[in-house]
Amino acid sequence: MISKEAVLAALSKVEEPELHQDLVSLNMVQNLQIEDGKVNFDIVLTTPACPLKGKIEAEARQAVLSVPGVKEVNIRFDAYVRNDGHARGLMEIPVKNAVAVASGKGGVGKTTVAVNLAVALAQSGARIGLLDADIYGPNVPRMMGVDRLPPIQGEKIKPAEAYGVKVMSIGFLVPPGKALIWRGPMLHSAIRQFLGDVDWGLLDYLIIDLPPGTGDAQLSLAQSMPLSGGVIVTLPQAVSLEDASRGIQMFEQLNVPILGVIENMSYLQMPDGTVVDVFGRGGGEILAKQHQAPFLGVIPLEPAVRVGGDEGKPIVLSQPESAAGKALRQIAEHLAAQLSIAAFKRQGGVKIEMVE
Ligand SMILES: Nc1ncnc2c1ncn2[C@@H]1O[C@H](COP(=O)(O)OP(=O)(O)OP(=O)(O)O)[C@@H](O)[C@H]1O
């Protein structure tokens, strides 16, 4: 007879690699059943986009197989995204984690990154909202292939939806072709509307595309939203790094944790396989080190990324196996892992409470 205690004792030697605590005390092992020599259980990950699922599975299987009498191990994966607590408490909408994507200057691919991260996370099975707060160039609708909101029914505004992502954009509020000058109080009330009057439903992650730069509008926006953390997108060359550094300082000033730095347009792969570093290389990693922030990865310069943006079909969907598609999916996983770590720390390292 194999006892549940013996199996749990074996699993309590397996560490969750990001949270550095064992699977049992993290409450990640559920529905344990033992029948003859067969052991079945669920592992409830902290995000469906977990980058280390394979490692966790291999180690858990090996641990249980080492229990005398065990002949077969069946592991089913499930995920329960941790509630950051911070975002939920302050926002009127039930969002577990809110992440702002920022850049020190325009044109570095911030919106492209925000859109692809949102879609990649939705593909992994998470419930995602994407809020386009870029008052200077709200490009999210175009990149997501949506151009209007659904008709209003009831009291709340329904967000648009594409590729499993709920989308709300400041562009939906402005008549096409009309630029608006946004002043502080107007921005605040628009954001309050986005967060309070939109029927987002329950979200695991809300990704927010901030305007480029680090001026008053950006500060005011970042301040009016209870963020779990911020991500900075930069080009690899030195001049961009100075701008990106200002972006990091903006978050630091607001006490928003830096979840990571992403280097975009890092290299161009030629048809013959050679690689050209159009804008240099390596700057993103240096910047991350300077600020003791996680480095989430590099995205190559690839024409299909732009085509995906222009046609409203992000590259993680249109060409998921391209180098840029793979890079973006990996970055989404790293970001999800950083959010799990941040929520874990914020909650004081307690086990996963599965309360929506
Ligand atoms: N890795 C990439 N490879 C090829 N093209 C890219 C890549 N990343 C972004 N682009 C393209 O570069 C242009 C600028 O990107 P995007 O609009 O995302 O930048 P941004 O930083 O959000 O700009 P802004 O802040 O000015 O709105 C777009 O045409 C986009 O398709």
102 C-alpha to ligand 1 centroid (Å)? 13
Count of CA atoms in the C-beta half-sphere (13 A) of 92: 11
Question: Residue 155: which pLDDT band, with cuts at 50, 70 and 90?
Answer: confident
**Of 100 and 174, which is predicted with more confidence?**
100
Residue ranges for the known binding site are 104-111
- pLDDT tens digit sequence for 138-149: 999 999 999 888
User: What angle do helix axes 283-290 and 238-253 make, rounded to 10 degrees?
Assistant: 30
Look over the chain and give the mean of its residue pLDDT values, rounded to a whole number.
Answer: 89
What are the tokens at 344?
């874990």
Decide whether any atom of ligand 1 lies within 6 Å of the 311 Cβ: no
CA–CA dist 60, 10 (Å, integer): 8
Ligand 1, atom 30: closest residue by C-alpha: 306
Decide whether any atom of ligand 1 lies within 6 Å of the 229 Cβ: no
What ipTM was assigned to the predicted interfaces of this complex?
Answer: 0.98
Q: 86-346: what CATH class?
A: alpha beta
Per DSSP, the chain holds a count of helices (H) and strands (E) of 12, 14
Ligand 1, atom 26: closest residue by C-alpha: 106
Return the domain boundaries, the chain.
Answer: 7-79, 86-346
Sign of the C-alpha dihedral, residues 110, 50, 349, 13? negative
209 C-alpha to ligand 1 centroid (Å)? 13
CA–CA dist 313, 251 (Å, integer): 30
Decide whether any atom of ligand 1 lies within 6 Å of the 305 Cβ: yes
- pLDDT tens digit sequence for 114-133: 999 999 999 999 999 999 99
Instruction: Please tell me the predicted confidence (pLDDT) of residue 150.
Output: 87
Decide whether any atom of ligand 1 lies within 6 Å of the 115 Cβ: no
Q: Do domains 7-79 and 86-346 have the same CATH topology?
A: no
Q: How far is CA 80 from CA 2, 91, 196, in A?
A: 28, 20, 24
- pLDDT tens digit sequence for 267-315: 888 888 888 888 878 889 999 999 999 999 999 999 999 999 999 999 9
**Measured in whole angstroms, how far is the alpha carbon of residue 226 from the centre of its chain?**
16
CA–CA dist 258, 72 (Å, integer): 43
CA–CA dist 29, 31 (Å, integer): 7
Instruction: Please tell me the predicted confidence (pLDDT) of residue 88.
Output: 46
Decide whether any atom of ligand 1 lies within 6 Å of the 86 Cβ: no
CATH 1.10.287.90 correct for 7-79? no
Q: How far is CA 356 from CA 64, 84, 86, 198, in A?
A: 31, 12, 14, 19
Task: Read off the amino acid at residue 337.
Answer: A
CA–CA dist 223, 127 (Å, integer): 24
